[in-house]
């Protein structure tokens, strides 16, 4: 019955006559035009980054920003990486960013997974309230913890060090990774856990043998999310790490771009290099990136 | 339950607490403990390099409220937040409903709209500082202004961040560029979760396409809008990196915001108490936005 009705409806909605076809064609064209216009708006900065990065110093000027390079070369990228007259390159900082981002993303994902497991499969009185209290940490302006953070890291001898900033990113990553894993484990049937309990498995055994093998999608989402936000962090890095040799790439890029000695083409090449890792992650693993985005916004 | 079972149950109960313990301790100290500590600093007399915890009451706050720079900052923050949140919502919603109309190449469009979200605000700031550089009277227009010239839209030309009247608006443009695709993704996910039968039913009842949006789609998307406002709002209140990379505080603090003033107070000028007071004010503003939302979701979950 419903199927027949639906069929009638679609028939009624089908455009009849030439006039209607033309009108809907114009409408379609307008939609594609608007979508393309927005696409141009979003792509303009990348165009400028790439084109300027490929230019020489003589060509890279404010007034010739839109022109294509007459003689494209990778020289600016080399300079941005290795440095030039009067400035340091960002190659060591890219390495620092990797050394910070990977362990911190792993650490916070692991803690998030433990928390998500307990908060979904071993709930206790007040566990939801505890989760909400944790979640609050995700939204705070980090300015409200910076002064004590610097004081404490100094006392612990971790101020200005890579382990120090890794610790900071692990701790402030706990709320979001807990949220991601809690949402993810909520989709794992509780019967699996109950069955393992009946078989005599304990809390750790169930985690290792039942949950962990099922967890990789959760880990992918949490790791990608954490990789992106830690790689892109500036506030913690600029506050905690003063030594240019220890700073991650966001701070180094800001210094590079703030220096009057450094040519525009080198600045743009540096910006592109700093953006590349997260950009590649987004392009190739966009599906998981999206899931992290949605987890961060709409609660489970 | 046998004795053995009961023992095991008890053991697992304790173990489950142990699983959570590291995170609870870390978050307890690094979030709640440090917020309390910052609150204490904001009530103290610590306005030089070495700590001084002599309590002075709310003096730092009172001084802040009459501080000209802080007043400009709050005004800028209001302008920035208003423009950034509403524009991102409107653009994001528009893109989502356009993309929802069975578009060929939807995946490509979506990728293009969303990629800025994966970039650091520092990268965004570096690029947009260049794009919105207005040029000079001697050399003519540069960047976006030059583009507007060529398109015959020169009435839209502006001094952007070099114009003290609208500096903060230029920063908002860069922020909208970065975050509006995110709102698109949220709305698109929301649109896709509306059962097609619902829209179809409205059409059968004789609703026009516009009415379908007004009476079916929009009410359905209300939670998405709420979520987006909260996410955008808290990002907006915290904006800092973008301003560092793009403009700095600007002429007459025209691009300055409280988060920037906080950092300069504490870590450049050693006025830790003032910095802490600004940080607490920021935290209170974010909390006004977030806490009702968190409590609401906690209650909703308790009902389930």
Q: Which residue of B has its CA nearest to A60?
A: B130
Residue B289 has pLDDT above 60, yes or no: yes
Residue A294, min C-alpha distance to chain B (Å): 7
Q: Which member of B182, B279, B301 has the closest CB to residue A144?
A: B279
Residue B165, min C-alpha distance to chain A (Å): 23
Residue B304 has pLDDT above 70, yes or no: no
Provide the pairing of β-strand B140-141 with A83-84. unpaired
Alpha-carbon distance values, A114 to A131, A185, B14, B42 (Å): 13, 10, 14, 36
Alpha-carbon distance values, A233 to A166, A208, A246, B183, B233 (Å): 12, 32, 14, 21, 19
Domain ranges of chain B: 69-303
The verdict on a CB contact (< 8 Å) between B130 and A39 is no
Note the helical H segments in A54-126: 75-82, 91-121
> What is the model's pLDDT at position A8?
37
Count of H helices and E strands in chain A? 15, 2
Check the CA dihedral A235-A237-A241-A242 and report its sign: negative
Rounded Cα–Cα distance for residues B170 and B160 (Å) = 5
Mean pLDDT, range A199-208, rounded to an integer = 86
Burial B69-93 (b: 16+ CB within 10 A, else e): bbebbbebbebbbebbbebbbebbb
Alpha-carbon distance values, A32 to B40, B150, B187, B189 (Å): 56, 23, 19, 20
Q: Which superfamily does A88-297 belong to?
A: MetI-like (1.10.3720.10)
CB atoms within 10 A of CB B94: 17
Mean pLDDT, range B238-259, rounded to an integer = 93
Q: What would the two tokens of residue B135 be?
A: 């040029």
Angle at A141 between CA A135 and CA A147, to 5 degrees: 115
Binned at pLDDT 50, 70 and 90, residue A126 comes out as confident
Rounded Cα–Cα distance for residues A165 and A160 (Å) = 8
Q: B69-303 belongs to which CATH class?
A: mainly alpha
Which residue of A31, A60, A139 to mutate against B (max B Cβ within 10 Å)? A139
Listed in sequence order, the residues at least 6 apart from A105 whose beta carbon sits closer than 8 Å to its beta carbon are A169, A173, A222, A223, A226, A227, A230
Q: Which member of B122, B146, B298 has the closest CB to residue A66?
A: B146
Rounded Cα–Cα distance for residues A282 and A68 (Å) = 27
Mean pLDDT, range A54-82, rounded to an integer = 89
% of chain A residues with pLDDT over 90:
60
Which residue of A143, A204, A287 to mutate against B (max B Cβ within 10 Å)? A143
Rounded Cα–Cα distance for residues B255 and B245 (Å) = 12
Residue B267, min C-alpha distance to chain A (Å): 8
Rounded Cα–Cα distance for residues A115 and B122 (Å) = 32
Mean pLDDT, range A57-83, rounded to an integer = 88
Contact assessment for residue B63 and residue A168, using Cβ atoms and an 8 Å cutoff: no
Q: What would the two tokens of residue B49 be?
A: 């390099």
Rounded Cα–Cα distance for residues B41 and B296 (Å) = 31
The verdict on a CB contact (< 8 Å) between A174 and B279 is no
Mapped onto helix, strand or coil, the DSSP state of residue B287 is helix
> What is the model's pLDDT at position A83?
87
Binned at pLDDT 50, 70 and 90, residue A140 comes out as very high
Residue B112 has pLDDT above 90, yes or no: yes
Higher pLDDT, A247 or B196: A247
Mean pLDDT, range A111-123, rounded to an integer = 93
Which residue of B87, B127, B276 to mutate against A (max A Cβ within 10 Å)? B127
Tell me which chain A residues have a C-beta less than 8 angstroms from the C-beta of B286: 139-141
Give the alpha-carbon dihedral of B231, B282, B90, A135, to 10 degrees.
Answer: 10
Residues within 8 A of A (CB atoms), B 76-95 only: 91, 94-95
Residue A186 has pLDDT above 80, yes or no: yes
Domain ranges of chain A: 1-42, 88-297
Contact assessment for residue B166 and residue B247, using Cβ atoms and an 8 Å cutoff: no
Q: Which residue of B has its CA nearest to A13?
A: B203
**Looking at residue B140, what DSSP letter applies?**
E
Contact assessment for residue A63 and residue B140, using Cβ atoms and an 8 Å cutoff: yes
Residues in chain A: 300
Q: What is the mean pLDDT of chain A?
A: 88
Mapped onto helix, strand or coil, the DSSP state of residue B141 is strand
From the list A44, A98, A79, A59, the residue with the least C-alpha distance to A230 is: A98
């Amino acid at each position: 019955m419903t199927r027949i009705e639906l069929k009638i409806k679609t028939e009624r909605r089908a455009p009849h006559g030439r006039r209607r076809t033309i009108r809907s064609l114009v409408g379609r064209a307008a939609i594609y035009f608007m979508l393309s216009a927005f696409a141009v708006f979003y792509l303009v900065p990348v165009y400028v980054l790439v084109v300027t990065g490929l230019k020489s110093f003589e060509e890279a000027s404010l007034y010739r920003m839109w022109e294509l390079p007459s003689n494209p070369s990778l020289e600016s990228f080399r300079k941005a990486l290795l440095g030039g007259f009067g400035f340091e390159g960002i190659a060591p900082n890219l390495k620092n960013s990797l050394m910070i981002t990977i362990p911190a993303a792993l650490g916070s994902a692991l803690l998030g997974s433990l928390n998500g497991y307990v908060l979904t499969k071993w709930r206790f009185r007040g566990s939801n309230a505890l989760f909400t209290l944790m979640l609050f940490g995700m939204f705070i302006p980090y300015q409200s913890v910076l002064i004590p953070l610097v004081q404490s890291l100094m006392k612990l001898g971790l101020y200005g060090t890579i382990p120090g900033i890794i610790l900071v990113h692990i701790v402030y990553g706990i709320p979001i990774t807990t949220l991601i894993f809690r949402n993810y484990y909520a989709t794992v049937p509780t019967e699996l856990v109950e069955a393992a309990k009946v078989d005599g498995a304990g809390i750790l055994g169930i985690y290792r043998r039942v949950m962990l093998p099922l967890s990789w999608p959760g880990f992918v989402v949490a790791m990608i999310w954490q990789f992106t936000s830690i790689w892109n962090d500036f506030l913690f890095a600029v506050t905690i790490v003063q030594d240019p040799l220890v700073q991650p790439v966001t701070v180094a890029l800001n210094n590079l771009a703030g220096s009057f000695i450094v040519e525009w083409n080198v600045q743009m090449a540096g910006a592109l290099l700093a953006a590349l890792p997260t950009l590649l992650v987004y392009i190739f693993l966009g599906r998981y990136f999206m899931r992290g985005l949605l987890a961060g916004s709409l609660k489970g | 339950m046998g004795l053995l079972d009961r023992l095991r149950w008890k053991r697992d109960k304790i173990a489950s607490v142990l699983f959570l313990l590291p995170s609870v301790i870390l978050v307890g100290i690094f979030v709640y403990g440090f917020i309390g500590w910052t609150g204490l600093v904001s009530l103290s007399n610590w306005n030089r390099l070495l700590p001084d915890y002599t309590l002075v009451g709310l003096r730092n706050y009172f001084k802040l409220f009459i501080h000209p720079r802080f007043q400009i900052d709050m005004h800028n923050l209001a302008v920035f937040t208003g423009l950034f949140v509403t524009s991102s919502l409107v653009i994001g919603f528009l893109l989502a409903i356009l993309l929802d109309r069975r578009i060929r190449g939807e995946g490509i469009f979506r990728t293009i709209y969303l990629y800025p979200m994966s970039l650091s605000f520092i990268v965004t700031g570096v690029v947009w500082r260049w794009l919105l550089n207005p040029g000079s009277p001697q050399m003519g227009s540069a960047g976006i202004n030059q583009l507007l010239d060529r398109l015959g839209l020169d009435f839209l030309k502006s001094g952007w961040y070099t114009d003290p009247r609208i500096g903060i608006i230029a920063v908002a443009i860069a922020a909208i560029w970065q975050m509006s695709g995110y709102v698109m993704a949220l709305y698109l996910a929301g649109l896709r979760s509306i059962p097609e039968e619902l829209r179809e039913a409205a059409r059968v009842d004789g609703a026009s396409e516009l009415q379908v949006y007004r009476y079916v789609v929009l009410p359905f998307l209300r939670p998405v809008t709420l979520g987006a406002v909260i996410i955008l709002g808290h990002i907006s209140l915290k904006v800092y990196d973008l301003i560092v990379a793009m403009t700095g505080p600007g002429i007459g603090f025209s691009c300055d915001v409280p988060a920037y003033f906080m950092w300069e107070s504490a870590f450049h000028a050693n006025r830790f108490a003032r910095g802490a007071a600004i940080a607490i004010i920021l935290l209170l503003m974010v909390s006004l936005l977030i806490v009702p939302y968190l409590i609401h979701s906690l209650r909703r979950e308790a009902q389930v």
